[in-house]
Amino acid sequence: MSETASVRSFDSIPTMADVEATLGCVDMNQRYELYSGRLVSFAEVGHPCGHPVFCFLGLGCMRYYSIILEDLAFKHSLRIYCIDRPGVGMSQPADPESWTPLRMAEIVEEMANGFNIQKFSVMGHSCGAIYAMACALRLKSRIVGTVWLMSPWVHLTLAKRMKWIKHMPTTLLKSQSTASLLYKSLSVAAKEPPCKSDPNILNYDREKLVKSMLQDNMAESLEGANNDLMVCLELYHSFGFSYKDVTLPVHVFWGTKDAVISKEAVDWMEQRLPHCTLSVIEGGTHGLLWRADVVSKIFKGIASSWKLAEFERSLSQRWSIKQLGLNKHQSYRSSTYSAVQQAIQTSNIYDTQQTLYQTQQIFDDPDRF
């Protein structure tokens, strides 16, 4: 992990040479050796000292796509870690028949330990949602706040628009040419820049950026994209868990023009998950990762969760339960936590800040207890 950020920012629309130089910088091309000896590549973007967030991208997407989050991550004091899954980018491949989303959670845990990251947040786009939810299940105690998902992939039986795939012969699905074709068709929406009316997420010429990222993606590795596809189709085995097993709060963003994930699929998540909030983006496509308004809401929510966690920790340090009175402390602390969590879930940063401020004022009053 580099000591200083080397991702470049521009005050004007950059040239293709600028784009390629940015994607070629140190922070975008790091590698980590796992205990097994296998190497995985990853990128870091955002604030050098920001709160850590592990971001899981869509089908076959490599770490370079995290560059579109750079400016907003810096603005909200977040540090985004984007790991290439096996066979993607410079990450060494893994046996596709033994690879599961839960193994990705093990990689995240190992890297977090190596970087001395005790707590972190997670977010996922498209099939990256599978890996984000795997982390939410396996690493629950280390995750701060809500699990944030955009256009999340679900079990194939729920992804009604893709049901035709399961009727294809297994031998055909395993073939390189067919897998490549499916990868390209499924990933078009995930990489589609928004229409001109959408706010900019980054000061880049999108056509140049997408062209450069696609070229690099194809040049480094396509094997991992095929492995991702096999995971999505549950060809070798199931995900290894159910989304219903995740007890952390989950916030889902879905666009009404999503051509990959149906409304029924995200409705199922809202109804069946213990704590799930659904935000419907009118006119949004499957590529919500490119929407600055959506990403901004997510980053505001993550930043608020970290403020709440720090506030809770500071209360524990400043007052003991004996000093406050056990019953009063527990009752008030519980109501405060619920109020702030509700503000975070609705992505209302103003309400969150107001609640934290009012709570601080009350605890600063020596006659309160």
Instruction: Output the pTM of the full model.
Output: 0.79
Burial letters 103-132, b for 16+ CB under 10 A, else e? bbbbbbebbbeeeebeebbbbbbbbbbbbb
Q: What is the mean pLDDT of residues 166-173?
A: 56
pLDDT in the model for residue 210: 62
Q: What is the mean pLDDT of residues 171-182?
A: 52
Q: What is the mean pLDDT of residues 357-368?
A: 49
Would you say 253 and 285 are in contact if contact means Cβ atoms under 8 Å apart?
no
Q: If you average pLDDT over every residue of the chain, what do you get?
A: 77
Distance CA 152, CA 246 (A): 14
Tell me, rounded to whole angstroms, the distance of Cα 15 from its chain centroid: 29
- 13-34: pLDDT as tens digits: 556 676 677 778 889 899 999 9
- 304-357: pLDDT as tens digits: 999 988 887 777 666 554 455 544 445 555 555 565 555 555 545 445 555 555
pLDDT at 3 over 60: no
Distance CA 64, CA 291 (A): 17
pLDDT in the model for residue 231: 82
Between 15 and 240, the higher pLDDT residue: 240
From the list 100, 93, 96, 152, the residue with the least C-alpha distance to 122 is 152
pLDDT at 245 over 70: yes
Would you say 180 and 226 are in contact if contact means Cβ atoms under 8 Å apart?
yes
Strand, coil or helix: 125: strand
Give me the residues paired with residue 250 across strands: 147, 276
- DSSP assignments along 75-98, one per residue: HTTEEEEEEPPTTSTTSPP--TTT
Would you say 132 and 57 are in contact if contact means Cβ atoms under 8 Å apart?
no
Between 55 and 232, the higher pLDDT residue: 55
